[in-house]
A = this chain, B = another copy of it.
Amino acid sequence: MTIHIAQSGDAALKPCTHDYQVNCGNCRLNSICLPLALESDDIQQLDDIIQRSKPLQKSQHLYREGDDFQSVFAVRSGTLKAYKTTDDGREQVTGFYFPGEILGMDGISNNSHASSAKALETAAICEIPFTSLEKLSALMPNLQRHFFQLMSREITEDQQLITLLSKNSADERVAALMLSISGRNARRKLSATQFRLPMSRVDIGNYLGLTVETVSRVFSRMQKMDILQVDNKEIKILDADGLRAMANLSG
């Protein structure tokens, strides 16, 4: 994320160049991203259709609700949120996307994005033009299978969230989100117990169907119970079992 600091002066003048070496073959995320389950020849073909442009700055949009759907996107670094705006102006966050995760698949059904996606911090993105992906999928059964699986996972994750919103208390919801982020960190070989939240309390509330105040109160409560150590966005899980107990997850 901070690769450019030394030369940020001229990076503003011309497209950045450090991405030349990044490809699916050497990306450290390729074991959890789209290339998963592909042979190296196939990875090369996938790589050929992927477009890497310059990083998204914090609060920039990757796409907006209603935009024509052209591509799905893989997060290489940084974090994004996907959200819909209700017509009375409130915001429903439908997901947070960490490195190695794919977003934009909700645009396929109508050839138009059903939600907006915005960077929560500087983010590098791989763009995968969908028509190319479709053609490639028809040729590479493993890729087709994997993409079906990715979409299916999006469905099951949405259903998890549905259950969470419909059946769980404020404490349980926040605990579940903390566990989810912890698990996704672990998948990327980062600390499962200590991390910085990329999103604001408002975003958390809009994701979990709670108000900022409630989210804040839950964090305070967890801190008082010595389950979490909360310092603004810095989170340290002190009692993972306690957190799991608090989440009281369904399955």
Contacts and interface: CB of A to CB of B under 8 A. Distances in A.
A18 interface: no
Interface of A: 65, 84-88, 90, 92, 94, 105-110, 114-115, 134-135, 137-139, 141, 144-145, 147-156, 158-159, 161-163, 165-167, 206, 208-209, 248-251
A249 B88 CA distance: 9
Interface SS of A by simple majority: helix
Contact of A250 (B84, B147, B149, B165): B84
Contact of A109 (B90, B138, B149, B251): B149
A219 to B, nearest CB: 19
A84 B150 CA distance: 20
A6 to B, nearest CB: 41
15 contacts: A84-B163, A84-B251, A85-B250, A88-B248, A106-B152, A107-B152, A108-B148, A109-B155, A109-B156, A134-B144, A137-B144, A138-B144, A144-B144, A158-B162, A162-B162
